Amino acid sequence: MIDALSSTPVISATLGYQLVESSLDKQQAAFEKSGAVQNDINYFRTAIAKVTSADDLVKDYRLLKFTLTAFGLDSQINSQALIKKVLNSDLGDSESLANKLVDSRFRQLAQAFNFAAGGASKTQDASFVDGIVQKYVTAAFEQNAAQTNPGIRLALYFKRMAPGITSWYQVLGDVPLYNVMKTTFHVSALGPSGDVDKQAEFLEKRIGIANLQDPKFVDRFVTRFLASYDQANDTTASSVASLLVQPLTQDPTSSISLAASTILTLATQRG
């Protein structure tokens, strides 16, 4: 899940996020074109076409990893039994596993494939496959950003998801979104973890769900989150120099890297 907060940051979340946001589309396009990512995409396209059941999907480790990454559930790669039950869940049954799990991303995974309702035919649908591929590229890019600082991944995820949030319960049931709120307001401020109604009331009072439709508000909130994350994790820009030649992609053959002038300018502004 997108809660890998134990990784050791090499730069502050605030500065790292600014570096990514300064040329997000270009960086994500370069990431998608990298050799490693293209190999994963090509494998997925070939393998998913042969899938006719949840069992087929789960037993192929590489295919499952790609799929789980697309839904932000990559940390569940070794929970094959759980994932199989989720994929086979009857979404019309409120007691089915996908409906009972707190994290809404499991339900999203089940809805996407919907094997219980004959969804196996989706794996032959080019538009469906393209959609999963695009979800993977976006999620994997955010995952890659966590190598610099996990806070960057959380910030990117929140900004991407914010416009689609219609209920605070949706936030409280999504691990990375909850982590953003928990970091921004601190755990005690949200109230008892078991009292979701009070937590939802707190978030509505402090944020207001309608404000998440305002890009400027979301940007301001992300800035506040990043500042709180850096304070909580005591991260600084002391390792800026180490990023001068750091590649934007995981592909060692790529020559694309962060512009030194951009890094140094942002580092100066941050100070």
Q: Which of 262, 253, 259 is nearest to 35 (CA)?
A: 253
Average pLDDT over residues 99-108: 92
Confidence grade of residue 196 (pLDDT, cut at 50, 70, 90) = confident
* pTM: predicted TM-score of the whole model, two decimal places: 0.79
Q: What confidence tens digit (pLDDT) does each residue in 142-157 have?
A: 999 999 999 999 999 9
- Domains in the chain, number: 1
69 located within any domain: yes
> Does some domain include residue 7?
no
Q: Is residue 190 part of a domain?
A: yes
Residues 167-188 have a mean pLDDT of 90
**DSSP code per residue over 161-201:** HGGG---HHHHHTSHHHHHHHHHHH-HHHH--TT-HHHHHH
Tell me the CATH number at 195: 1.10.3700.10
Say if 218 falls within a structural domain: yes
Q: Is position 8 within any domain?
A: no
Does 6 map to a domain? no
pLDDT at 50 over 80: yes
Contact by Cβ (8 Å): 89, 97: yes
- 168: containing domain: 13-270
Q: Torsion angle of alpha carbons 140, 261, 5, 142, nearest 10°?
A: -10
Q: How sure is the predictor about 107, in pLDDT bands with cuts at 50, 70 and 90? A: very high
250-255, long-range: CB < 8 A, 24+ apart = 250/31, 250/34, 250/36, 250/37, 250/144, 251/34, 251/35, 251/36, 251/37, 253/34, 253/35, 254/30, 254/34, 254/35
pLDDT at 173 over 70: yes
